[in-house]
Structure 1
């Protein structure tokens, strides 16, 4: 960052240049042979000490002096020596003809260049993203177009430094780059406002360019998913820009296999990007939270908890309010009360889901909504498939570790997509046959049940197989999948004798089980998985025939169907109109879903539901993938 002394004693000019250093210059700017204006700051027997700037001084030995000087006197000196210890030696100079040039040190630096400036004073221009008061300094998180760095401002211990500044202000920071506990930090000497609209526009444009996602080739050639890539790229840019803006991301996902296949690769990609643009090693932990949701919609309990934590973080740590990212959840009218709560705080919402959507209810409340139904497709494009591609747009280096994940997602949600064979083949290249993929999905569901509201990040990484230890992954999956199979078989043993059967007018086999009274409670599998296990058993028993299974409790019913063209969201809408006062709500996929109602209307709602099932058409295309086994 040293300025050039071009023309000094070069013979190209006849007038000597004498430099007048700006007060904040350092010794980095001086060069041997150059002339400088100096001020005497001390007189000793062997010469005088002179200042060139606040932090630049040296000795003019008595043998190099032509006159006598006192403290405060000015003279022109020429630098003759820079000793090994950094001391400067000058001689007095009396040029006949000279011109004065003010010399300001160019300390301009960017966050990405700070690693090369440790120990140097730099100047950064950027925006304050966060202000946190510690027991010592005030920590300002300042970002420019290349990244974010903590800047420590010092007053008395625990007293706010530079109280005139707030989050969102543009500032010019001058300070020394230090390394603290392995990470970079700027210790602030001065902080000044940067009231320049052009500078803000320039920074915004640079950040917008930096937020542009990558465009890796899709994992498989699949036109149905390719038509969604443009909108997935737009989501990737939104997420990258949120990170550049210092906005935390709260990731909510359905706590099942597909939900984890969607959220875990995306979590890894976002954490990598946060670490890339932030000098604070704790930034990924502070700026991203992955939170499982048990319900198939965003419950008021969850949104209240999320909002409370976010407001506390804003108050205690100076963080911005977060962006909410909904995965494998969030597309239905049931989500809207929670969304309206967040709207009171202007919290942006992004949704990626493959459940049957209610776009008219949801889209006025969200910034982006990606769902295969909105493109003429259906649930066979799982959220895990979409999010693996999204994660690769944020960090394409993940590709090798997530190649098998879309196949796991598809098998978890029984996708019958034409691309499943390609995804399974891709997983085989990564060392997973179809049995291994099934085991991973089973282990994920089992882990999710016992984790409940905990994200279990490290454990889930190992189960899904995106960690570093393949041997541990395989042993863990084998253990969890075996336990899941044991617990499922125990549940089947007690529920199958109490499962009622009838043949509907359209030829479908209907099975009904009261999971409240005839299944083990508070253990794996939960009512939904129990109903699914009974359904899978009956599909195998009646290979080739259409099968519908209903697992019900006092105020809910879980539905599974194979070979019958149901439209569960439409059936729910009709039941709402036909049974006022029954409190009917619910939804899901076309042939997999759940319904809630008040317990006193259970029989009435179930009878109405079965009546609609009898009118449904039989469709061979909807037969289960179980029949391939």
Structure 2
């Protein structure tokens, strides 16, 4: 039936006499009957009452301002066999927030009819009807003429029907002037006397001509309608507007189809309704440039355009709109300059590439493209990811009207190591293709922080490139030449000829965050200091202190983030990390930091008692058998353990620490090691060991389990050769 509308968009006036006549899932208008300790009783009919349990409320029961007799909207959740009615909370509590109202009259002829409003201030309001210029937003099966102008209401009929006749009879008749010359009348041929059909035809022809004139006038008026910008529609609530832009996403809800439209000023949702759950304008795709006419409404506190007509532009008009958006986008996306958090030569060296990366990120937000951030599951990696997240989320909230936009358009996915391999790339590509095909999303910008800059990541980066996903890599450690040719933007001090030995990824990403959004400068100023385990440049320590983070506080934050980075390492833990780094009091960081120290000290104590000291040529080495003397599947991770052991045991300038596992080892050195050269030389010494550089940034080397001893000896000798 044509009256059936999506039940989440309509409220019903129940006129039945039994609770079993109610339809679960529908919204009904009821009257507050009274309160109990466990909820609110709501009358839906004179002898039908339901319970809105306190667990269904979105607030505390005692904070409700409803009084007995107040009209409220509730959803029928369930009707039990004994007639008890379970109600659910409705976030819509005014009639204007629904698409309309219908009568639920189970035993009567009025079932499904629109609710008629008796007055403007009392009773349900009728469903609003708007003139439409197309049939896309009307329920299927309805018809409408767009060629007839809107008529004014006819005067009310008099109770005395003869009054109108009398009025006509008494009307004065114009008479021809007396001195006017008579007009010669041609004789009338009886055969040519017009018939009734001829008269009707003449009238119809006249009306058709008039109608065509009106239609042309309407069309001209439609074409001349002034375009509004999306940033200005909040000033046009309740008014019809015309907007133009690019479709950036399409969402099919249980009711309308929601097109997300972007113009040169903002992004807005445009809802088009055909039938409940039926795709409106199926020919419209993401990336189309369109014109939309509709009325601006506020639903659930958010602005939305109720689409009356949607037209896809041809090439010429589309190019005009596209250029307008591109010009505005370029002006808005690129920051004027990068103002570093503190004076630091490696950061200054990458000023231009930081601007390029910031522009790419800001452009993705403005183009409604998701941003996927990949960083290592370490304290430094999480600090870097959190810094960029802190800068980007406010921009997303400002740009997009959806409540969940910041979760929809920004994702952090930590990596176990600094290599962006095929496993991670396949995960990202699978998700982005699913989002593209199921939800008409654009392909994302993939931002890699402290990862993806070595040749081991080329396969993963290449897979992203096949599909055209934009790739931005930001790394403090030297990047390989081949990566520079594979990605869209590379921020790397070594590529600019700068020595970045004292630069962390967190410090670099914090500067990038400020370039993206200057408003977060104070928020992220302490993060560079948090990202360093040792040898933090003094300017970053001073900067943190200026913002209220002394050395102990900085240490607690670092240790707390490191512990949380290990557990559920594949999760972003967005809210928890934000609490630790930005919003929580010292109690949270202090508590987690204490757990970090307890776990680390227990592990280090056991390891220290079982370290084997070795002398290889001119170097000293500390070797730990991690399989025998560490809890490999509990905190701390091997990479953090080897760092801590190296800090505590190193002596002199020629010292190497090795933590040996079943089929891999981690190596640290007081001298910079070229890990690939070490592996190449070691492979010549132990060709059957299957040695491979698995993680350049982590100092991780893989080997065959059966050649464990040979692999260790070969690596120690190859490392000694580099001193």
* TM-score over 0.5 for the pair: yes
Q: State the distance in 2 between where 1:66 and 1:204 align.
A: 68
Following superposition of structure 1 onto structure 2, how do residues 95-494 of structure 1 map, counting pairs within 5 Å? 106-195=225-314, 196=317, 197-215=319-337, 217-360=339-482, 362-376=483-497, 377-409=499-531, 411-412=532-533, 414-415=534-535, 420-464=537-581, 466-467=582-583, 469=584, 471=585, 474-494=586-606
- Contact 2:338/2:354 (8 A) holds in 1: no
The 1:516/1:103 distance shift into structure 2, 3 A limit, reads same
Match of 2:643 among 532, 537, 553: 532
The 1:366/1:462 distance shift into structure 2, 3 A limit, reads same
CA drift at 1:502? 2.0
Q: State the distance in 2 between where 1:164 and 1:255 align.
A: 43
Q: State the distance in 2 between where 1:329 and 1:234 align.
A: 18
Q: State the distance in 2 between where 1:111 and 1:40 align.
A: 31
CA drift at 1:580? 5.2
- What is the SS of the residue equivalent to 2:469? coil
Match of 1:586 among 677, 681, 694: 694
- What is the SS of the residue equivalent to 1:292? coil
- Is residue 603 of structure 1 aligned with residue 709 of structure 2? yes
Higher mean C-alpha displacement, 571-580 vs 195-204: 571-580
CA drift at 1:296? 2.5
The 1:244/1:580 distance shift into structure 2, 3 A limit, reads farther
Q: Deviations over 1:311-364 (max 9, x none)?
A: 22222221112221111111112112222222332222111112342222x233
- Contact 2:132/2:309 (8 A) holds in 1: no
Q: State the distance in 1 between where 2:673 and 2:173 align.
A: 104
Q: State the distance in 2 between where 1:290 and 1:453 align.
A: 9
CA drift at 1:67? 11
CA drift at 1:607? 1.8
Match of 2:666 among 558, 578, 598: 558
CA drift at 1:39? 8.4
CA drift at 1:38? 8.8
The 1:570/1:39 distance shift into structure 2, 3 A limit, reads closer
The 1:316/1:550 distance shift into structure 2, 3 A limit, reads same
CA drift at 1:606? 2.2
The 1:577/1:502 distance shift into structure 2, 3 A limit, reads closer
- Contact 1:145/1:210 (8 A) holds in 2: no
- What is the SS of the residue equivalent to 1:517? helix
Q: Deviations over 1:156-190 (max 9, x none)?
A: 11111112211111101011111122211111010
Q: Deviations over 1:397-428 (max 9, x none)?
A: 1111111101111x23x356xxx111101111
Q: Pairwise CA RMSD of aligned residues?
A: 3.0
Structure 1 residues without counterparts, runs of 5 or longer: 1-22, 26-36, 48-61, 75-100, 618-629
The alignment's TM-score, normalised by the length of structure 2, stands at 0.68
- Aligned residue for 2:97? none
- Contact 2:391/2:520 (8 A) holds in 1: yes
- What is the SS of the residue equivalent to 2:567? helix
Structure 2 residues without counterparts, runs of 5 or longer: 1-130, 134-147, 159-167, 175-202, 208-218
CA drift at 1:576? 5.4
CA drift at 1:365? 2.5
- Aligned length in residues: 525
The 1:198/1:613 distance shift into structure 2, 3 A limit, reads same
Q: State the distance in 2 between where 1:40 and 1:204 align.
A: 43
Q: State the distance in 1 between where 2:683 and 2:705 align.
A: 15
